[in-house]
Amino acid sequence: MKATAAAPPGAAGPPAARPGPGSRPRTRTRTRGRLARLSAGNATAYLGGGIVAATVLVALLAPLIAPHDPLDTDPAAIGLGLFSDGHLLGTDEVGRDILSRLMYGARMALLVAILPTLLALAVGGCIGLFSGYVGGWVDSVLMRIFDVMFSFPGILLALGIGVALGPSTTSLIVAVVVVTIPEFGRIVRGNVVSLRQEQYVEAASALGYGHGRIAFRHIAPNLLGGVVVFATLQTGRNVILSASLAFLGLGAQPPTPDWGQMLSGGRALLVTSPHVATLPGLAVVVLAVGFNLLGDGVRDRLDPRSRRSRAAKKDDRAADGGKTGDAAC
Amino acid sequence: MLTFILRRGLQMIPVLLGVTVATFGLGQIIPGDQATALLGPTSSEEDRAALRADLGLDEPAVSRYFTYLGNLFSGDLGRSLSFGRPVSEVLSERLLNTLLLSGTAIVVAAVLGVAIGTWAAQKPGSVRDRGLTVGVLFLNSVPSFWLGLVLIVVFSLQLRILPATGMTSIAGGGALDTAAHMVLPVITLAAWSLAVIARMTRSAVLEVIDNDYVQTARSRGIGEFHVVVRHVLPNAMPSVVTVIGLQAGFLLSGTVLTETVFSWPGVGLALQQAISSRDIPLVQGGILVIAVAFVLINMLVDVAQAYFNPKIKLA
């Protein structure tokens, strides 16, 4: 939303830019509106960024701030409730401290969400760039392969790969990467196809630059904004996908602290100590919300189409007295 | 229309073949000796040799793929290692339960999603509209298995008004008993799709709600309800139908998690059991069945879209 504030002063129409006796109150209102939108847009990004940053901090400092060793079991303290003596969030089905396991589990949650996103971005991005740039039958073949991969619901494909490779953190990461590659490939390819027609690309070609230089130095930097937004939102989706696979037993194996696996194990105590299963799930929700808010905020700041549509909608609202709303939801 | 359906059907063939290649490939990427991986390191050499012969592991992969494809055409999905029965038998007796659950969930998600999306679009920027936006963000960030557990804790363990797991009570029961068992799994399964459908409906309705023909209808004194139902929704439907169809496909895959949480005896639960015992043939079969259903649903969505928007047929 800051993007709206950064729009040229005359973007809303000539009368607004024209100084005159009646223009000051309107300008003030407009400025206030812009400031409100600016802070609202930033608030989304800051809130999301704050949640993600806090999770990263907890993950990094887990050995220093965790009150107990996450692997220490206490048979005498199984399923302790919230705010128990020495265990703020209680203990799990084998007497391990839940707060400590949540803190250490943040490491795994971030690893299996961020690393697959980066790997898929690198592989899928290169395939998309190559496919969109080369075009022709190579493009057709690669897109048909992506079509087949899209014909699988992501979780099923990831599940199949996870089972075939055997349950482990590595196989979970591989599974999420494979599922995510076509998403990045399709996004990048679509943008490359349109950017290839741009004059600066034609100019670079006319100057005799090589294909690699044109693709990576002239086209790729212009893909960055959209890809960063998509990668942030995809990381949020990967938090949930990875937790789902871990819940089904395909991620890190016990006793490694992992939110999905903690939730699955906690089901045994659902009747007597429901917090054992629900707290790790809540951690997943909070982190996913954090990435989604951050992605929305980054989109508002980076995506020029989002800027334009918001500015246009603002003008529409101003024109018809606020009757129409934000159709992009 | 028939030409369109035929053309779309033909386009589906390579995708379906790709799906079979992928499910076959799952059996091939098992690291190390497949027989040992499937039967475990403690299995005897005789058992491993028998399994290798049974699965044709000594033959080249291409030849095995064509054997696999031929078997699929005759309805043979292999033999489940954990159930000790044909995979097709294990899946077919559970498929109806999965379809019942996912079918009900998509109907609930579609009806409520369209209603909520339309309701929010009627007053953009209002509290209810903002509520929808926040609700969508929240539901998009909630894993279904966690939502299911929370519902069990609240409605089954605390309030004790709905059964937590299974499809029928131990003492048995009729349709009402099954319906009661379906409430929580259906809510869990439908929640995410409901949010997506509501968001799409809201956008689609906003695009048409101020069009000239809608204004004309209002100026003729037609009530707002009839304006929305007769003039707005039919014109907003093409994009909404697409999303509903896609969500129906995703719901099928979502049953793996929901059925696991609620111990609902469907294909998803069988898949979860197959994961625990590393029963690759059953995993392959379960994934194949759901993926084929997903492809078929996508085709139906395209046909429905063409029905609502004749321009698509010409494309």
pLDDT in tens, A247-298: 999 988 989 999 999 999 999 899 999 999 999 999 999 999 999 999 888 8
Query: What are the chain A neighbours of B144 within 8 Å (beta carbons)?
Result: 244
Residue linked to tokens 């429901």: A274
Position A37 scores a pLDDT of: 53
Shortest Cα distance, chain B CAs vs residue A161, angstroms: 6
Name the nearest CA neighbour of A116 among A11, A212, A231, A202.
A231
Contact A281 B202 (CB under 8 A): no
- Candidates B126, B275, B295, partner chain A, best to mutate (most A CBs within 10 A): B275
As for the ipTM of the complex, it is 0.86
Give me the mean pLDDT over the B103-129 stretch. 92
B188 has a pLDDT exceeding 50: yes
Asked if residue A180 lies in contact with residue A118, where contact means CB atoms within 8 angstroms, the answer is no
Nearest to B291 among A145, A156, A281 (CB): A156
**What is the overall mean pLDDT for chain B?**
88
Phi and psi (nearest 5°) for B246? -65, -40
**Residue B181: which pLDDT band, with cuts at 50, 70 and 90?**
very high
DSSP letter for A253, please.
P
| pLDDT at residue B168, as a whole number | 85
**B87-109 average pLDDT score:** 94
Span B137-161, pLDDT tens digits: 888 889 999 999 999 999 999 999 9
Mutate to test the interface with B, among A82, A112, A141, A152 (most CBs of B within 10 A): A152
**Gap between the Cα atoms of A20 and A24, Å rounded:** 8
Alpha helices for chain A (secondary structure H): 2-5, 14-17, 23-65, 98-134, 136-150, 154-165, 169-195, 199-206, 211-213, 220-247, 259-266, 275-302, 304-319
Angle of CA points B150, B155, B156, to nearest 5°: 95
State residue A291's pLDDT score: 94
**CA A31, CA A215: separation in Å to the nearest integer?**
41
Chain B residues in contact with A178 (beta carbon < 8 A): none
Tell me if chain A has a CB within 8 Å of the CB of B153.
yes
Question: Any chain B CB within 8 A of the CB of A243?
Answer: yes
Q: What is the pLDDT along chain A (329 residues), one digit of tens a residue?
A: 333 333 333 333 333 344 444 445 555 555 555 545 545 557 888 999 999 999 999 999 999 999 999 999 988 888 899 999 889 999 998 999 999 999 999 999 999 999 999 999 999 999 999 999 999 999 988 988 888 888 778 888 899 999 889 899 999 999 999 999 999 999 999 999 989 888 999 999 999 999 999 999 999 998 888 898 899 999 999 999 999 999 999 988 989 999 999 999 999 899 999 999 999 999 999 999 999 999 888 877 765 555 544 444 444 444 443 333 332 23
Closest approach of chain A CAs to the CA of B296, in angstroms?
10
Domain residue ranges of chain B, discontinuous segments joined by +: 2-73, 88-314
**B-chain residue closest to A165, CA distance:** B30
List, as ranges, residues 99-118 from B with C-beta within 8 Å of A. none
Tokens of residue B162, six digits = 């709905």
Q: Does the pLDDT at position B298 exceed 80?
A: yes
pLDDT of residue A303: 56
| pLDDT at residue B242, rounded to an integer | 83
| Nearest beta carbon to residue A148 from set B15, B202, B260 | B15
Please identify among residues 129-148 of chain A the ones whose CB lies closer than 8 Å to any CB of chain B.
144-145, 147-148
Structure-block tokens of residue A147: 């079509």
| pLDDT tens by residue, A163-174 | 889 899 999 999
CB atoms within 10 A of CB B225: 8
Give me A164's structure tokens.
């075939």
Q: Which of B37, B81, B17 is nearest to B270 (CA)?
A: B81
Chain A residue numbers touching B143 (CB-CB < 8 A): 240, 243-244, 247, 281, 284-285, 288
Of B118-127, B140-149, B207-216, B298-307, least confident by mean pLDDT is B298-307
Tokens of A24: 């000051």
- For the structural domain made of B88-314, what CATH number should be given? 1.10.3720.10
The pLDDT assigned to A122 comes to: 96
Give the residue with greater pLDDT, B282 vs A28: B282
Lowest pLDDT segment from A275-279, B145-149, B167-171, B211-215: B167-171
